Amino acid sequence: MRKIRTRLALHFTYQLLLQWVLIMLTMTILLLILFNYLANNDLKRTFSTGAVDAIKSETFIHNDEVKMNRRWKNLLNEQGYWLQVVNDAGRVIYSLNAPTDLKTIYGATELLNIQETRRFDSYRVMASLEPETDGSKSVLYLLGRQDLGTKLLDEWYQKYNRNGLVREDAMAGLEQQLDGNDDYLQVVDKDGVILQSIGHSDNSEINRYQPLDLVSIRSEPGIYPTELSAQYDGDTGYTWLLHQGKPGRTIEKQSIFYDIILALVIFGAGVMVVTLAVSIWHGYRYGQPLTLFASWFERMSEGRYSEALTEKERKKVFRRNGKIRMRYRLYKEVIAGFYEMATKLDASQRDRRLLEQTREEWMVGISHDLRTPLSSIQGYGHLLESGQFTWNEAELKEMGKVIREKGDFMLELLQDFSLTFQIKNNAERMVLEPIEMNEFVRRSVLRYVNDATIDTAMFSYEEYDDELTIMANPKWFRRMLDNIITNAVKHNPEGTEITVSTGAEGDYAWICVSDNGQGMDEDTRSNLFERYYRGTSTDETTDGAGLGMSIAQAIVIAHKGQIRVESEPQQGAKVIMKFPRKITKETADGCSGRGE
């Protein structure tokens, strides 16, 4: 009981800890998702400026070997960017999506010009230096993208510029080129006032840019629907602005507080769902075994011990391999205790019924076996008592012999009954000692060979080559052999050959008593070791009370051995007994494989 209490306490403790771990894990995952979302959102807003720093922090460089996160490779490819990593010698040691017109080796002034102008030919380029750290040499990251807008705007400026404004005669042509697209051209002065606007604009109501508006568009291109290209006219101070629409859906600007609130709402809903699921699981886990115990109590109160577990309940509790299922494992001692108790009660109930049945059979058998010799004794007694006849000495001796034989039979019958109960109930302590089985069996068989009264059977002995030592009680071991050999003599016709052989099988020594007699049918073979099984014959020449083989089996079991019989009608019989050896030797074949 203490073990169960400890397991229950530990179980509920680790369940609580597991629940808190689950909650903390869920919270951590949600927070990571939130941070990842915010970081990605920020990266989309400022991709051209923030991507280089993010790539630097996630890229490992050693001996000019660059290892980059696969995610960046896919993202740069989707956004149409190329990347080059230049070492301290100006050589490109890593290139991703780089066009063929880019260089593989840069000079010192070329890299400085790229960093200052943020341009290289027709590409807009962001440059970021990774300084020398921990023995690693400095490298320069170049992140670029085709800037067709700037090239187009430069062509238009060179072609249509007049005093910093678009010529009047060119406005219709530009309007036609920009018509139907999300692109539009504007000319603004140094104060941000829009002087000219050509093409379709979503901000047509705006006549002036605030000082930071254009800087925001350039710094955070991800939150605006257009990409901005600019051309400055130094003579007038005017600036030409080309807005080009982005393909696909634009990224809307969202408040960070809104994101946090949304994440907290999702997190709270997740915790509620997890808590509800754990509660339902606990109710199912601990409630179902209790209903099972209740049904057990009900059946046991009705005395239905054999139905401790129905077939349906057994499938619920046990797996196919016999192990208890996980949901019942907490109560495995209780289930095992109930199951064992029900099994013992059912076995006790069956044993009681069998005992009553056996008692009746024994009473009938005893009455039957005692009636025949008592009838003979009573008949001779009446004859002697009547005095009506005169008996000569030979007749009186014959009467005395019959009375003595019947008395001996009755005494042997009572001794067999007493011996059976003694062995069954361990009433007589069986002292074991080492005996050499080959010699012991040889002497037992020799007594039958030299017995002149046994002329209906022939005996032979096949001895094992090596020594066979077992722990046995000589008195009971001899009784066992006598019962089995005598049984082979009594129940076979005249001229039967009885062979006794010994052998070894691993850690066991065996004795085989075989004959070529009339054999046994299946019913006789299956009941051979049952008490009082010898049929109902009242033939006075048949000795014993049908307990010989039952006694032999009990003696074998008391010696921690095994016994079995092999027989078919008209094909003889074999009785094989196996006993643990005191000294283990090499395995030997014998008795034609009967020890297998």
DSSP of 494-548, one letter per residue?
A: TTEEEEEEEEEETTEEEEEEEE-S----HHHHHTTTSTT-S-S---TT--S-S-H
Q: Which of 88, 90, 86, 75 is nearest to 145 (CA)?
A: 75
The predicted structure's pLDDT at residue 92: 92
The predicted structure's pLDDT at residue 147: 76
> Could you tell me how far CA 73 lies from the centroid of its own chain?
41
Domain ranges of the chain: 46-146, 149-253, 430-593
Tens-of-pLDDT digits for all 596 residues of the chain? 466 566 556 666 766 766 776 677 677 777 766 766 666 666 666 566 667 877 887 788 888 888 887 777 877 887 788 999 999 889 999 999 888 889 999 998 989 988 888 888 878 888 888 887 766 788 999 998 877 777 788 888 888 888 889 888 888 888 888 766 678 888 999 888 988 888 877 666 678 888 888 887 776 666 677 778 888 888 888 998 888 776 544 333 334 444 555 666 677 677 677 767 766 776 666 666 767 777 777 777 777 666 666 677 777 777 777 777 766 766 677 777 777 777 777 778 777 777 677 667 667 666 766 777 788 888 888 888 887 888 888 888 888 888 888 888 788 777 777 776 666 666 566 788 999 999 999 999 998 888 877 888 999 999 999 999 999 999 889 988 988 998 899 889 999 999 999 999 989 999 999 999 999 988 888 878 775 555 433 344 444 556 778 888 888 988 899 999 999 998 999 999 999 998 644 444 445 444 43
- Rounded to the nearest 5°, which phi and psi values hold at 470? -130, 165
Q: Please tell me the CATH superfamily of domain 430-593, with its number.
A: Histidine kinase-like ATPase, C-terminal domain (3.30.565.10)
Pairing of β 184-188 and β 239-245? antiparallel
Q: Which fold has domain 149-253?
A: Beta-Lactamase (3.30.450)
- What string of DSSP letters covers 424-473? HTT-S----EEEEHHHHHHHHHHHHHT-TT--SEEEEEE--SS--EEEE-
What is the C-alpha separation between 130 and 146, in angstroms, rounded?
A: 24
Tokens of 255: 């408040």
Q: Which of 222, 224, 247 is nearest to 39 (CA)?
A: 222
Q: Which of 506, 487, 491 is nearest to 578 (CA)?
A: 506
Gyration radius from the chain CA atoms: 53
The predicted structure's pLDDT at residue 342: 75
Under 8 Å between Cβ of 476 and 556: no
Cβ neighbour number for residue 236 with a 10 Å cutoff: 15
Phi-psi region of 85 (alpha: psi -120 to 50; beta: other; left: phi over 0): beta
Under 8 Å between Cβ of 250 and 225: yes
- Calculated CA dihedral for residues 328, 330, 331, 337, nearest 10 degrees: 110
Burial class (CB in 10 A: 0-12, 13-18, 19+), 241: buried
What is the C-alpha separation between 85 and 136, in angstroms, rounded?
A: 14
Longest pairwise C-alpha distance within the chain: 175
Distances (CA, A) of 152 to 57, 116, 142, 156, 461: 35, 22, 23, 6, 118
What is the C-alpha separation between 461 and 19, in angstroms, rounded?
A: 76
The predicted structure's pLDDT at residue 222: 63
The predicted structure's pLDDT at residue 511: 96
The predicted structure's pLDDT at residue 263: 65
Same fold, 46-146 and 430-593: no
Amino acid in the structure at residue 97: N
Q: Which of 413, 412, 401 is nearest to 377 (CA)?
A: 401
How long is the chain? 596
Under 8 Å between Cβ of 487 and 563: no
**What element of type H or E holds 486?**
helix 474-490
The predicted structure's pLDDT at residue 76: 82
The predicted structure's pLDDT at residue 536: 36
Pairing of β 496-505 and β 457-462? parallel
Under 8 Å between Cβ of 391 and 399: yes
pTM: 0.38
Beta-bridged to residue 573, according to DSSP, are 515, 567
Burial class (CB in 10 A: 0-12, 13-18, 19+), 125: buried
> Could you tell me how far CA 172 lies from the centroid of its own chain?
79
What is the DSSP-derived secondary structure letter of residue 247?
S
Q: Which of 336, 337, 331, 341 is nearest to 300 (CA)?
A: 341
The predicted structure's pLDDT at residue 423: 67
| Helix, strand, coil percentages, rounded to 5, for the chain | 50, 20, 30
What is the C-alpha separation between 479 and 74, in angstroms, rounded?
A: 92
CATH dotted code for 46-146: 3.30.450.140
What is the C-alpha separation between 587 and 595, in angstroms, rounded?
A: 11
Give the end-to-end CA distance of the chain in Å, rounded to a whole number: 45
The predicted structure's pLDDT at residue 45: 60
